[in-house]
Structure 1
Amino acid sequence: MSSIADNLGSVTRRIQKATLQAGRKPGSVSLLAVSKTRSAQELREAVSAGQLAFGESYLQEALDKIAELRDLTAIDWHFIGPVQSNKTRQIASAFSWVHSVDRLKVARRLSEQRETGLPPLNICLQVNINNEPSKSGCRPDELPELASQVSQLPGLRLRGLMAIPDPGQTESALKESFRNLANLLKELQLRYPEAGPLDTLSMGMSGDLETAIAEGATCVRIGTAIFGERSQKS
């Protein structure tokens, strides 16, 4: 059975190869290790192998791990799950990134509840790129107005977009979904140059990271390829 360190090495090589094949600058794609349902000890192993950015979806589980791993001060915690309004205060305090903001109410609460003295909370707006009824995310046509409003909130720093395309798509349809998200980001960069760097495209997972990188991903969210298959969480 491969170790977490071995798996991280394999994923890193995949990212490097895909980046070169896409004709992009080496190091332009970051790895976010999706650590939901994983133990604090597994995260320690990943940190020992050089991984510092971790993505969590379940708030209480994440807070428990953050407390247990508080001695590892270099960890960069990203919240990637749906954001409930009654959980924004804890998310705003404990994380440096939120990839899953999809409505103004949540963004305002995160901004207001970001503690004074902390740097602005890095935000990606989640887009429901395939308009799936059961999936979180704003519609593409709602994005320009939402981005304009979020970019003006003082406690936040709008960094880019995130999407989880329909996994049942064909390869060509998946490419189009990733490309559409990349084009939405380019439109925002042109439309709102004052909004900030807008430098992040959070898209691509274990099974499709090469396709995502070819279409412009700057952050790939990888869980299974690093930690193995996870148990289902209710």
Structure 2
Amino acid sequence: MQTIAERLQSAYVRIDQATDDAHRPRNSVRLLAVSKTKPVSDITQAYEAGHRLFGENYVQEGVDKIGQLQHLSDIEWHMIGPIQSNKTKLVATHFDWVQSIDRAKIARRLNDQRPDTSPPLNCCIQVNINDETSKSGVHPKQLQELVEIVESLPHLTLRGLMAIPKARMTQEEQEATLHTLEELFSEYRTKLSNFDTLSVGMSDDVEAAIQHGSTMVRIGSAIFGARD
């Protein structure tokens, strides 16, 4: 059985190959290790193997892990799951990034509750790119309004877009979806100074996402093993 360090290395190699195939620099895509439901000991193993970016889907679970690993001060913690209004203070206080802003109310609460002693909270707006009722995210037609709101908030820094494309698409559907995301990202990247992140691509679609401009892929079970 492979160790977490070995599976991490395999993920790095896969990303490097995909960036080579897309004729992009190897340092243009970051790997977010999705550690939801996994114990702190697994995160520690990944950390000892040199990894520093970790994503959590559940607020309280993430906060508990951040507390247990606060001695590892160079970990970059990303909240990637839906955020309820009553959890925004926890997120604003403990995380370095939030990738799942999908409405103005959440953005404003995160801004207002970010401690003055902390740097601005790095944010991505989650786009519901396939307009699925089962998923969070702003519809592309409402994206401009939310971009303007987040950009106006002093304790947030808008870094880019995040999306979870529909599962089990045909290759043509996948291409169209990722192309639309790539165009949206490119449009705002030319307008906004800190807008540098397109977070899309998971275990099943890393190569296609990187081909279409992803700068961050989110991989969980291929690193930490199947979830319980």
Q: What range describes the TM-score normalised by the shorter chain of this pair?
A: over 0.9
**Partner residue, 1:132:** 132
Structure 1's unaligned 5+ residue stretches are none
- Residue 18 of structure 2 aligns with an amino acid whose one-letter code is A
Answer yes or no: is the 8 Å Cα contact 1:158–1:196 preserved in 2: no
Q: TM-score, normalised by structure 1?
A: 0.95
SS in 1 for 2:28: coil
Answer yes or no: is the 8 Å Cα contact 1:144–1:188 preserved in 2: no
Which structure 2 residues correspond to residues 74-153 of structure 1 after superposition, within 5 A?
Answer: 74-153=74-153
Once residues 171 and 96 of structure 2 are traced to their aligned partners in structure 1, the CA distance between those partners, rounded to angstroms, is 33
Once residues 124 and 8 of structure 1 are traced to their aligned partners in structure 2, the CA distance between those partners, rounded to angstroms, is 24
Once residues 91 and 170 of structure 1 are traced to their aligned partners in structure 2, the CA distance between those partners, rounded to angstroms, is 36
Deviation sequence 1:205-231 (CA, Å, 0-9, x none): 011101100000000000011011101
- Identity between Structure 1 and Structure 2 (%): 51
Tell me by how many angstroms 1:134 deviates: 1.1
**Partner residue, 1:207:** 204
Once residues 225 and 205 of structure 2 are traced to their aligned partners in structure 1, the CA distance between those partners, rounded to angstroms, is 16
Which structure 2 residues correspond to residues 176-195 of structure 1 after superposition, within 5 A?
Answer: 176-190=176-190, 193=191, 195=192
Once residues 89 and 101 of structure 1 are traced to their aligned partners in structure 2, the CA distance between those partners, rounded to angstroms, is 14
- Residue 225 of structure 2 aligns with an amino acid whose one-letter code is G
Tell me by how many angstroms 1:90 deviates: 0.6
SS in 2 for 1:27: helix
Which structure 2 residues correspond to residues 1-234 of structure 1 after superposition, within 5 A?
Answer: 1-190=1-190, 193=191, 195-231=192-228
Once residues 144 and 8 of structure 1 are traced to their aligned partners in structure 2, the CA distance between those partners, rounded to angstroms, is 36
Deviation sequence 1:66-119 (CA, Å, 0-9, x none): 111111111110000001111001100100100000000000000011000211
Once residues 126 and 56 of structure 2 are traced to their aligned partners in structure 1, the CA distance between those partners, rounded to angstroms, is 15
Answer yes or no: is the 8 Å Cα contact 2:59–2:83 preserved in 1: no
Structure 2's unaligned 5+ residue stretches are none
Once residues 138 and 111 of structure 1 are traced to their aligned partners in structure 2, the CA distance between those partners, rounded to angstroms, is 18
Tell me by how many angstroms 1:196 deviates: 2.9
Once residues 31 and 175 of structure 1 are traced to their aligned partners in structure 2, the CA distance between those partners, rounded to angstroms, is 22
Once residues 99 and 208 of structure 2 are traced to their aligned partners in structure 1, the CA distance between those partners, rounded to angstroms, is 20
- Residue 99 of structure 2 aligns with an amino acid whose one-letter code is H
Once residues 104 and 196 of structure 1 are traced to their aligned partners in structure 2, the CA distance between those partners, rounded to angstroms, is 21
Tell me how many residue pairs correspond in the alignment: 228
SS in 2 for 1:98: strand
SS in 2 for 1:161: strand
RMSD in angstroms over aligned alpha carbons? 0.9
Answer yes or no: is the 8 Å Cα contact 1:204–1:213 preserved in 2: yes
Deviation sequence 1:118-175 (CA, Å, 0-9, x none): 1110000000000001110000000011101111100000000000000121122112
- Residue 180 of structure 2 aligns with an amino acid whose one-letter code is N
